Structure 1
């Protein structure tokens, strides 16, 4: 009977460790989703900033044009969001395998499609939606495994 109680205690410790690991991974997966969201918001601001601009590689070479472009509020906000997402990304990479973290950024594809469709009023084909949801299925498999 004593051995049985000991093995139950060991099983309980193992279960507690699994639960703690799962909770820790959930925290990082949620942070990865937040990073993705912040990054996509940065994309949105940059898109708003360059929309209607006549951009060419030659025009970007001119310092005056370059400064005018990069000092637009939308562009500044876009790069600020990028900076925040990059700092958070470095933190996550210090805690999570790259092979898990990087594919989780695929959630950005969904967010970009939603923002493109509803905020930028872009045409988004059914084929794009299907492709993005297939990518999300793979992302869910990755998260589920961990």
Structure 2
């Protein structure tokens, strides 16, 4: 498998994990609970456990990716996860995306492309 494909898989899994974690927190009410009660509520929530699983799988795939690619090339590509999280947050969580944020995302994408081609 091409190492860049492993990086993409890792980034997508990580971004999806973040969004699923957020979706899980939105379904829970923890106001007024002690820290221990919050911990139990969060970590017995199926969506939060699913998000953590996705994030863990992302890390496992990442290990395989960096075994095959220079870290100085691979790691900046993780920044593309920011772009994916904003897109997924907009589509699934209905979070607003300002023009300035879009400009920032375009700068990130440009940087990732430059590094990937260096």
Please give the TM-score of this superposition, normalised by the length of structure 2: 0.90
Q: 2 CA distance for matches of 1:60 and 1:53?
A: 14
Q: What's the offset of the Cα at 1:34?
A: 1.3
Q: Which residue of 2 aligns with 1:46?
A: 21
| Higher-Rg member (1/2) | 1
Indicate conservation of the 8 Å contact 1:29/1:143, yes or no.
no
How many residue pairs get aligned? The number is 118
Q: Show structure 1 runs of 5+ residues with no match.
A: 1-23
More helix by share: 1
Indicate conservation of the 8 Å contact 1:32/1:104, yes or no.
yes
Q: 2 CA distance for matches of 1:74 and 1:94?
A: 31
Structure 1 runs of 4+ aligned residues shifted over 3 Å read 52-56
Question: How large is the Cα RMSD of the aligned pairs?
Answer: 1.9
In 2 relative to 1, CA 68–93 (structure 1 residues): closer, same or farther, beyond 3 Å? Answer: same
Q: What's the offset of the Cα at 1:96?
A: 1.4
Q: 2 CA distance for matches of 1:102 and 1:112?
A: 17
Please give the TM-score of this superposition, normalised by the length of structure 1: 0.73
Q: Show structure 2 runs of 5+ residues with no match.
A: none
Q: Deviations over 1:51-108 (max 9, x none)?
A: 154557x95631x331221111110100100111111111112221111111001111
Q: Which has the higher contact order (CA 8 A, sep 6+)?
A: 2
1:120 to 93, 97, 115: 93
1:74 to 34, 47, 54: 47
